[in-house]
Structure formats: structure tokens, C-alpha cells
Structure 1
Amino acid sequence: MSKRTHTLSSSTKDKKLDAPRPSASIVLLSPENQVLLLHRVQTSSAFPSAHVFPGGNLSNFHDGTIPGPDDVKRHEDSLPYRLGAIRETFEESGILIAREGDANGNPLNLPNAERDIARKSIYKNEVRFVEWLRGVGGVADTDNLLPFTRWITPTNQPRRYTTQMYLYMLPLSISDDPAVSAAQSEAMIPTADGGAEITAARFDYASTWLEKQRKGEIVLFPPQYFLLHLLSQFLNKPTLGSLSSSELTDYYHSQREKLGSFLATVPTASEPKAVKHHTAQIPWADKVISPNMLGVRKSDKRAILGLDKPGPELTGTDRGGDWERVVLVKFAKHVARDVEVRNREEVLAEERQPGNGAKEAKL
């Protein structure tokens, strides 16, 4: 995608914003197209008590160097982001997204005991991730990561990140992988950091995760809820009664094909006004979203978050997110509650009704 500028504008630099830290996460699909979420502890440094996708900060030691804070290329998909996403997923869940020998090899499968030793060594920076992989005859499967939006933390937050999200689909016949099998039954996972951040990992259907949030059983922050909302359009539990093994494989494969097409297709909006907005011509694979406050609903005090802006670091570029939708959310003690994705025009029309005006946001 072409850029109108290649460095940050002077107005953005003058604000002296804290540069967002590079990070990466993976929306990981099981052989049954369930989504992996990790449960973070209440004292976690980010997303406390929440269920999140595996991922974390990039490391120069493990992942390589990325462009500096004043370069817009810092906010683009690249090999360091892909390696960081795979490494962090391995550290946090034990699931290894790698191939035997080279990019064309079979999925690399190692015993849990060997994985756990490696996860701790990699976490402590005792060995580089790619060197350890090479030593066990594998390579990171970076080629099969599908970019699936980037999120830049708004400027009103004390810690800011530029997080590249990826989608990865585990092979439909990988059920013998011990780490995947454990997450399919919500295992309490031994973690490389001794349980300081993550307590459990589980695969479940996107719609099930959303329903658990609606019932107040789990915490989902806006990025996770929004992406699960999109996935729930395609990844549903079979409802056709008894299906043979081959029929199930065809069913899951068809879901994946439709999802892959969705990531690459434009326009990404359906309503006429939204289709005319320039963000509708940015595929989901390339969207950059920095949630911005549009107002507060008078009826339930939930914040209305716009998703179309890419953040100040990308001012003057042609990057952007999703204008057609907004996220409604209530924050209480730094925890997100009552998250919902709605049509932007519908929500704003509701707030324009007499006696139901939203409070204007103070940006």
C-alpha cells in the first residue's frame, strides 16, 4: 500500500508522545476452527483478568531490529513481527508454529518436556528462538501467518503498543500435538514466567467466547472482542447433526476459505455511506485501528469508540481502520465490561434522539 508520507509529521513529533512499543499477537485456530484465548492474571501488566490472544512485545535479541519510532514502517507487517508473534505464542502456550526442515516441511512436533525447557530458556534470553529451532531441525512457519489488522494504543493510555495481529490456521490433522490437545481441554499450562501473567489456555468457538463475555463470565477488551465478532461470522460449530470425518474436514476447510477471502476483499463495508469512506478500500489484512472516543452514551454510560483512525503516528498516511462499526464499552477499574460491536450510524442516530444525546467526548 502506497504512503503519502514516509516520516512522522512535525505536529505529531511536537506532541512528544510516548512511542508505542512493537508487539505481535496471533489469532490461532484449532483443527476445528476454535480460537485460542489465554486467561491473564488479575495483576497482569496488560489486560488484567482478561482473556487474550497469545502474543507480546518484540525482542531485538530474538526477533530482529525493526524501524525506529519516527518511521511509519515501524507499523507495517515484517519478519520481526512474525517471529515475535510465533515466539510469544510458544512461550505463553507451548504451541509451536514451526515446520520440520524448511517452510515446506511437516509441522514440527516435540515432546512437552522438551518444549517446557526451551520455553524457559528462550524467555530468559539464554538462547535465541530461531537458533533453538534450527537446533531441533525446524523453522518458524512465518509464511502462513495472515495479517489481520494492527492496533495502536490511544494516546490517553500510559502504556502504548503498536500490535500486529495475525491469523494462523493449524492444520486440520494436528490433533496429536500435545500442546494443542491440552488447550482443547483448558489446561493449566506451565508458563515460562512462572505464572506471572498467564494461568490457562483454551480453544473454543468465537461465538462461545462472545457469549461468555455477555454473561459476565470472562473479560474481553475491545480489540479481542472486535476480532472475535468478525470471526464469528465464519467460524461456527457444525449444526448438521452427525457428520463423517471427511465431511467435517470439508466443512472446516470451507469456513477457512471464506475467512481468507474476507481478509483480502474490499470494500469492507456494506452500507452506502460507509462504502464511500476511504477505509472501506483497506482490506482487513491491512487495517490499522487506534480506538478514539466519539462520546458517552447517556442511557448506559458506555463509551462509544470509533475504529476508523490509525493513530497519530500514521497521520498523513493512507492507513486507517473501520468506519462502519463502533465498539461500546464500559471501563471500571481498568477492566472492560459490557463490550459490544454496533453499526456506527445506528448508534449515533440513537444518541441524536431527543433526550438521549451522548455526552461529547473530551479528547
Structure 2
Amino acid sequence: MPQLPEDMVLPEGFVPSQAPQPPAEPRDSATVALVRDTDGGPEVFLLRRVLGMAFAGGMTVFPGGGVDKRDADTSVAWAGPTPAWWARAFGCSAELARALVCAAVRETFEEAGVLLAGPDADSVVADATPYADARQELVERKLSLAEFLTEAGLVLRADLLRPLGNWVTPPEEPRRYDTRFFLAALPTGQRADGSTTEADHAAWQRPQDAIADWAARRSGLMPPTWVTLSQLAEHRSVRELLAAERQITKITPRVVRRNGNLHVALPGDADYPEAS
């Protein structure tokens, strides 16, 4: 795993002076690194979250969000690796794995306008714009993913996703998430638009360029995003990214103080607290 840069310093007040006891229970969530090929190498779709949001306001992130209890609906028409397969990949129950995959598909559609579903197990919609009304109803929670797919006659394409990582918000923070990261290629014909009230900017960038923007202080990145971008930058094509074998390990960063500044420590760092 790439080592975080030493100049990745957290602002004072980022976490309470006293860590919550007991730590807040992490909420399950899913996020998707959506990638596409270009002549200059793979690009990833990124959103800048609106300032003032309760979590990660102003940060550049991948599309994603919390699991809705309706994401576990077993009536979803499903193609690809089974929930049991995803459960083994992420080390969780099959019920939660199903909900995580559905949340990944739903959030990608809600926040990026990209729909990882098709009329059957061997196809994917080439244009998601005809489903704009359903997209808004999903955002407003008037419609569940299962209801949408059933009404539209679509099949969820779990085979278009790959497991990418698993990060848990540090116990020092009052709002925590247990986030499973997924990887997916932009389906042919579709376009990502970033039309969401949760973001004020959206763009495709090469992972290394997104890291360079952070280094130049033109954007903000959370440690899981920085590490994931660094890992994506190691590959030369979307095909290579999708084919890479990954062993998913749950990573829980910790907030520590070094030389008077707040930093994030990762497992393996000398100052990573052994006790949680």
C-alpha cells in the first residue's frame, strides 16, 4: 500500500479533542471508482463535495454513499458474481454484500448518471438519460433500486464491478463509515455528468493528475482517496485495472499527532496505535 505523504496534515479541530467513547458505530457505505481509457492513460471520474456537508465537505471523492436498507431487496434481477462471492471478497455476510453492490450501482447512477444495468445479463444500457425521472426519484428515496429496475425491465450487472478496497473512518471521528470501494468501467455510450446537489464540480482526471492537484493545494483528498488514486495510477489501461487481482483487507486509519500536527497513521506505520 502506498505510504501517505508526510505533508498530508489534518486541520486542527478535524477531530474532537477527546475521542468518542465508545467509538461511533460505522455505517456501511459503497463508493465506485469509475474509469475510462484515454490516449494518455486511464481517467477516473471525481466529484468535489459541497462545502458545509457533514462529512468530507469540500473534498474530492469518488461517487458513493450510504447503504439504504432497501438495497438488500432480494427481488433485484441480478447478473454476475453472486452475493456469496462478494461476501467472500469483502469479508461480510451475503445479505450485506448484496446491499453493498446495489448501493454501488444506485449511487453511481444517482451521483454520476451512469447506470450499471441492462435489458439482460449480456447487455448494458447505452444511454441512461431516458431514466432521468427515475434517477431523481431514487435521490429523493421515492423509489428503491429494486423497484426502478423491475419497472424498467433491467438487470443489475454485478459483473461490471470489481472489489477495490475497504476503508473504515478512524475511531477518533464522530461520524464513521465502513466503506467498500468498487471499480467499474464507463459503459460504452454512457456519459458521467456529476449532476448531484452533493457536489459543486465534477471531472474526469488521470489519477496522477488528481494527486498532483492535491500536492499543489488545488484540491482536497482524504487518505483513502489518495491511496486509491495512487493504486489506480499504477495501471496503463482500463483492461489492466479490471484484470488486476486484489486481496481486500479492511483498513482503519488512526488520527495521531506528529511534531504538533494531526496526521493519519495507517497499519504498519510506527505510530499506528495497536489498541483501537
Q: Which has the higher contact order (CA 8 A, sep 6+)?
A: 2
The sequence identity of aligned pairs, in percent, is 26
Q: Deviations over 1:159-191 (max 9, x none)?
A: 1111111111234xx1x32x33xx4xxxxx433
Correspondence for 1:156: 172
Contact 2:23-2:174 at 8 Å conserved across structures: no
Correspondence for 1:303: 263
1:160 and 1:287 mapped to 2: Cα distance? 18
Correspondence for 1:353: none
- Equivalent of 2:114, from 60, 81, 95? 95
- Larger-gyration structure (1/2): 1
**Which amino acid letter does the alignment assign opposite residue 133 of structure 2?**
I
TM-score by length of 1: 0.59
The reply to whether residue 290 of structure 1 matches residue 272 of structure 2 is no
- Equivalent of 1:35, from 23, 44, 47? 44
* Secondary structure, aligned partner of 2:127: coil
Contact 1:75-1:162 at 8 Å conserved across structures: no
Correspondence for 2:99: 80
Correspondence for 1:256: 239
| Structure 1 residue 59: Cα displacement | 0.6
- The runs of at least 4 aligned residues of structure 1 exceeding 6 Å deviation read 360-363
Correspondence for 1:328: none
Correspondence for 2:133: 117
Contact 2:73-2:146 at 8 Å conserved across structures: no
Aligned positions of 1:230-249 closer than 5 A: 230-235=231-236
The reply to whether residue 55 of structure 1 matches residue 61 of structure 2 is no
Aligned positions of 1:142-181 closer than 5 A: 142-171=158-187, 174=188, 176-177=189-190, 179-180=191-192
> CA distance change for structure 1 residues 149 and 77 in 2, over 3 Å: closer, same or farther?
farther
1:149 and 1:141 mapped to 2: Cα distance? 19
* Secondary structure, aligned partner of 1:116: helix
Give the gaps of 5 or more residues in structure 1: 1-14, 67-71, 184-188, 236-251, 265-282, 309-322, 324-343, 349-357
| Structure 1 residue 77: Cα displacement | 6.8
Aligned length: 237
Q: CA RMSD in A?
A: 2.9
| Structure 1 residue 144: Cα displacement | 2.6
Correspondence for 1:220: 221
TM-score by length of 2: 0.76
Give the gaps of 5 or more residues in structure 2: 1-20, 75-82, 84-90
> CA distance change for structure 1 residues 165 and 361 in 2, over 3 Å: closer, same or farther?
closer
| Structure 1 residue 124: Cα displacement | 2.0
Q: Which segment is superposed worse, 118-127 or 202-211?
A: 118-127
2:128 and 2:119 mapped to 1: Cα distance? 14
The reply to whether residue 20 of structure 1 matches residue 37 of structure 2 is no
| Structure 1 residue 199: Cα displacement | 2.0
**Which amino acid letter does the alignment assign opposite residue 245 of structure 2?**
L
1:229 and 1:87 mapped to 2: Cα distance? 26
Contact 2:172-2:255 at 8 Å conserved across structures: no
> CA distance change for structure 1 residues 88 and 63 in 2, over 3 Å: closer, same or farther?
farther
> CA distance change for structure 1 residues 126 and 77 in 2, over 3 Å: closer, same or farther?
closer
> CA distance change for structure 1 residues 34 and 165 in 2, over 3 Å: closer, same or farther?
same
